[in-house]
Amino acid sequence: MGKENTELKKIKKELLIEKERLNKHLLVIKEGVAIFSYNKNRISSNKNFVRYLSLISKEPINHETDIFRLKPLSEINEFIDKNIKSEIKISKDEVLEYEINIKKNSKYFNIKCIVFYDKSFELLISDLTKREKNRVIKSQITSNIAHELKTPVSAIQAYLETILLNKNIDEDKKSYFIEKAFMQVERLSLLINDISTINKLENAEDFYKIEKVNIFDIIKDIKEETSIRRKENKIQFNNQLPKKLIIKGNKGLLYSIFQNLVENSINYAGNNVEINIKKHFEDNEFYYFSFSDTGNGIPEKHLGRIFERFYRVDSGRSRKDGGTGLGLSITKNAIQFHQGDISAKKLKNGGIEFLFTIKKY
Ligand code: ADP
C-alpha cells in the first residue's frame, strides 16, 4: 500500500512538472495558442493568443472565447461546431485538423484548429507577416535582378563576340572592346556585391555583430578615404558631428550608410560643392542626422523613389558612371536595421539634404 502511495505521489509530481513545462512553453512561443473544452470553455492559453485576436478583430477583444464570434474566422468556427457535436465520433488515435490563412489590417495570419478525440480542441495562430512580406520582396528583387544583370551580360557578350568573329580586327579596336567588356564585368561585380548586401540585411538580422561605434570616427575615415577624389572635384567636407557620438549598432552597416551618401555626392553633386554632416537633434532614443550637399540635387518628382532598388534618376548617366541604383536602398535598409528612417529634401539653393534617424542602442 505504502509503496503504491509513493508511486502515485511520484507520478503526480511528474505530471505537475510536465504541466508547468507546458505552461512555460506556451508563454515563450511566438504563436498564439488556446485550448478549449468540448463546451468551448477556455482550459489554457497564452498572451499572444489574445494579442493576435485583437489584431484580427475590428472590435476590442476581452476574452479568448471572443474568437467564436469573429467574422474572419467563420470557416474555423464552422469546423469546430461541426466536429464537437455529440453525434460525431473521433477515435483515440485520430486528430481532426483545419487551417486557414487570412490577411487583416496589412498583417498575415495562419489559423489552425485541431479537434481531439474527447472533443476538446486547440487553436493556433501564427503571424506570417514577416515571412509573407519577405516572399513578396524576394520575388520583386528576383525579377529586378534578372533584368539588371541582363544589360551588362549582353554587352559583354556583344563585345567578345565581335572580337571572336572578326579575326583580323586591329589591335587598337580589340583592346577597346576588351576594355569595354572589362568595365561591364566590373559593373556586374558591383551589382552582385550590392545585391548580396541587401539580401543579407533582409534575411539575417542576427548575422550582424552589435557593438559601440563612434560615428565621428566613421566619418573621419570616410573623409580620409575619399580625399583624393574630393580634391579632383573640389568638394569640401564638413564633419560637424560632436567628437563623441556613440551608437550601439553594427559598424559595417553604419559605415555603409554614410559611405553611400558621400559616394553619391562625389558621383552626382558636381564640382565646387560642400558636404555637411550634422546631428541636428536627439531625444532619449534617437539621434537625428542631416547629410547634405550643395550640388546638382535631385528633381522633386524623383525624390519619392530614389530609395527603391535599382532606381536611378538619370539612368543613362548613372549607367555610364557605374551606379547600380542600389546605394540608397542599402543606406535605407541599414538605417531601418538600426530602427530609424530616412527621407530626402530638395534644398532651396540647389543640392540635396537627407534627414535620418538612428536608434542610440
Ligand atoms: P547609384 O548606385 O546609381 O548611385 P543610388 O541608389 O545611390 O544609386 O542613388 C539613386 C540615384 O539618385 C542616383 O542614380 C543619382 O541619380 C541620384 N543621387 C543620389 N545622390 C545624389 C546626390 N547627392 N546628388 C545628386 N543626385 C543624387
Instruction: Indicate whether residue 325 lines ligand 1 (CB < 6 A).
Output: yes
Among candidate residues 290, 293, 284, 333, the one with its CA nearest the CA of residue 309:
333
Question: What's the mean pLDDT when you consider all of the chain?
Answer: 89
Check pLDDT > 60 for residue 121.
Answer: yes
Q: Whose CA is closest to atom 14 on ligand 1?
A: 312
Closest residue by Cα to residue 340 from 331, 352, 349: 331
352 lines ligand 1 (CB under 6 A): yes
Instruction: Give the bridge partners for 34, in sequence order.
Output: 45, 123
C-alpha cell at 329: 536602398
Angular region, 114: left φ>0, alpha ψ -120 to 50, beta rest: beta
- Cα separation, 253 vs 163, whole angstroms: 42
Q: For residues 11-37, give the mean pLDDT.
A: 86
Sign of torsion over alpha carbons 186, 187, 190, 195: negative
Per-residue pLDDT, 231: 95
**Does any ligand 1 atom lie closer than 6 A to the CB of residue 314?**
yes
Determine if ligand 1 sits within 6 Å of the CB of residue 313: yes
State the pLDDT at residue 232: 94
Residue 293 pLDDT: 97
The DSSP secondary-structure symbol of 101 reads E
Backbone angles phi, psi at 75, to 5 degrees: -60, -40
30 close to 24: Cβ distance less than 8 angstroms: no
**In the predicted model, what is the mean pLDDT of residues 331-355?**
93
Amino acid at 285: E
Q: For Cα atoms 179, 183, 189, give the angle at the middle one, nearest 5 degrees.
A: 140
Q: What is the pLDDT of residues 151-169, one digit of tens each?
A: 889 999 999 999 999 989 9
The share of the chain scoring above pLDDT 70, in percent, equals 95
Q: Which range scores top for mean pLDDT: 92-106, 128-142, 204-218, 344-358?
A: 344-358
pLDDT (tens digit per residue) in 267-325: 999 999 999 999 999 999 999 999 999 999 999 999 989 998 888 887 555 444 567 88
pLDDT in the model for residue 1 = 55
For residue 6, CA distances in Å to 10, 14, 16, 235 come to 6, 12, 15, 85
**For residue 242, how far is its CA from the centre of ligand 1 (angstroms)?**
27
Decide: 100 and 76 in contact? Cβ < 8 Å. yes
For ligand 1, say whether the CB of 31 is within 6 Å of any of its atoms: no
The neighbour count for residue 186, using CB atoms within 10 Å, is 12
Q: Given pLDDT bands bounded at 50, 70 and 90, which one contains residue 207?
A: low
- Which atom from ligand 1 is nearest to the alpha carbon of 295? 24
Rounded CA gap, 346 and 352, in Å?
A: 5
Q: Are 214 and 245 in contact (CB under 8 A)?
A: yes
Binding site membership of 270 for ligand 1 (Cβ less than 6 Å): no
- DSSP per residue over 265-334, as a string? HHHHS-SSEEEEEEEEEE-SSEEEEEEEE-SS---HHHHTTTTSTT--SSHHHHHHHT--S-HHHHHHHH
Mean pLDDT of 130-138: 77
